Amino acid sequence: METVMRNFFLFLSKNRGLTKVAKRYGLKFGAARFVAGETIELASEAIRQLNNKGLDVTIDYLGEFVDNAAEANEMADNSIKAIEAIGRERLQSQLSLKMTSMGLDISDALVMNNMRRILEAAKKNDVFVTIDMEDYSRCGKTIEIFKKLREEYDNIGTVIQAYLYRTEEDIEDLNKYSPNLRLVKGAYKESPQVAFPEKKDVDENFKKIIKMHLLNGNYTAVATHDDAIIEYTKQLVEEHNIPLDQFEFQMLFGIRPERQLELVNEGYKMRVYVPYGNDWYGYFMRRLAERPANVAFVLKGVMKK
């Protein structure tokens, strides 16, 4: 049943029509639990509140299915506005963004131009930028873009997904860039030809790449809500005397907020991924796909209305 639901929500997440409609009607169906608001002002307020509790942030201006240059440029402009707000308001926040929203499906030159504009603004405001990882069809290209930009900028990292077979090789290959990587399980629907279909294999591979990347001496963000992975990381760093400033935990806004605070109180760095903007639909559907309990939460909210 869980797999059916997961596939159903991942299928819905790719619907362009619903994405467009959702943009017009504001945050609905409980999406406000996972999205900080539609404007940078609301997102800044959410960041401030998290910062006040000792949580760091990475902010993401939501945008899916960008298929023309004007829209991609506008997405980049909005990311620059977010960076400037972080700098101006002295928020403890990084920036995350997706290559498709910068024009990946349109042209390489467009993406590189937008990314350089963003990274220059980020450098000026001392903001670190992480390239999120999307579905498998964009993975290779995203890694190539990261490599090129990493040669020019220090303030850039990317994401590696444990569910892909290629991941171990990517971790090895990227090691020469001493990259700051966010490691995740992976959120998209992929075929068994490219990704582990079984959750237990994904979890094992996740542990394997966390160990590889940390022991390679690189900065590692372990992005998960899974206590088993968190405990594994804690033991690993203790066993290998890995300093607290070589890694951090990350979780999504609205998911396990009490656990986020517990980890801060235990002395770990915890960063919350805070999405904002009116293009919330696809992000929201992927969160519903991850956890049936989230669907129950949403249904309760809808019933109450």
Active site residues: 132, 182
- Residue 69 neighbours by CB distance under 10 Å: 15
If one asks whether residue 33 binds ligand FDA (CB under 6 A), the answer comes out as no
If one asks whether residue 205 binds ligand FDA (CB under 6 A), the answer comes out as no
Cβ atoms of 129 and 157 within 8 Å: the answer is: yes
For ligand FDA, the closer of residues 27 and 99 by Cβ is 99
If one asks whether residue 213 binds ligand FDA (CB under 6 A), the answer comes out as no
Specify burial of residue 29 (Cβ count, 10 A radius: 0-12, 13-18, 19+). Answer: middle
Among 94, 161, 220, 233, binds ligand FDA (CB under 6 A): 161
If one asks whether residue 170 binds ligand FDA (CB under 6 A), the answer comes out as no
In angstroms, the CA 206 to CA 222 distance is 9
If one asks whether residue 132 binds ligand FDA (CB under 6 A), the answer comes out as yes
Among 22, 31, 35, 159, binds ligand FDA (CB under 6 A): 159
Tokens of 24: 């017009």
- Cα 183 vs. chain centroid, distance in angstroms? 10
Among 185, 277, 279, 283, binds ligand FDA (CB under 6 A): 185
Single out the segment in contact with ligand FDA by CB under 6 A; choices: 18-26, 100-108, 186-194, 275-283.
186-194
CA dist list (Å): 159 to 30, 91, 129, 183, 218 = 27, 23, 11, 6, 13
If one asks whether residue 83 binds ligand FDA (CB under 6 A), the answer comes out as no
Radius of gyration of the chain (CA): 18
In angstroms, the CA 304 to CA 301 distance is 5
Tokens of 268: 């770990």
> Minimum distance between the CB of residue 213 and ligand FDA, rounded to whole angstroms?
15
> Minimum distance between the CB of residue 195 and ligand FDA, rounded to whole angstroms?
10
If one asks whether residue 186 binds ligand FDA (CB under 6 A), the answer comes out as yes
Q: Which residues contact 89 (CB under 8 A, 6 or more apart)?
A: 44, 48
77-101 burial, b for 16+ CB within 10 Å, e for fewer?
A: ebbbebbbbbbeeebebbbbbbbbb
Do the bridges between strand 181-184 and strand 129-131 make them parallel or antiparallel, or are there none, so unpaired? unpaired
Single out the segment in contact with ligand FDA by CB under 6 A; choices: 10-18, 104-112, 143-151, 224-232.
224-232
If one asks whether residue 226 binds ligand FDA (CB under 6 A), the answer comes out as yes
**Contact pattern from residue 235 through residue 254 relative to ligand FDA, giving x for each residue in contact according to CB under 6 A and a dash for the rest:** ---------------xxx--
Single out the segment in contact with ligand FDA by CB under 6 A; choices: 10-18, 70-78, 148-156, 218-226.
218-226
> Minimum distance between the CB of residue 272 and ligand FDA, rounded to whole angstroms?
7
If one asks whether residue 223 binds ligand FDA (CB under 6 A), the answer comes out as yes
Cβ atoms of 231 and 203 within 8 Å: the answer is: no
> Minimum distance between the CB of residue 249 and ligand FDA, rounded to whole angstroms?
9
> Minimum distance between the CB of residue 101 and ligand FDA, rounded to whole angstroms?
12
- Residue 39 neighbours by CB distance under 10 Å: 12
For ligand FDA, the closer of residues 62 and 223 by Cβ is 223
Q: Given the rule CB under 6 A, which residues bind ligand FDA?
A: 132-133, 159, 161, 182, 184-188, 223-227, 250-252, 255-256, 273, 290-291
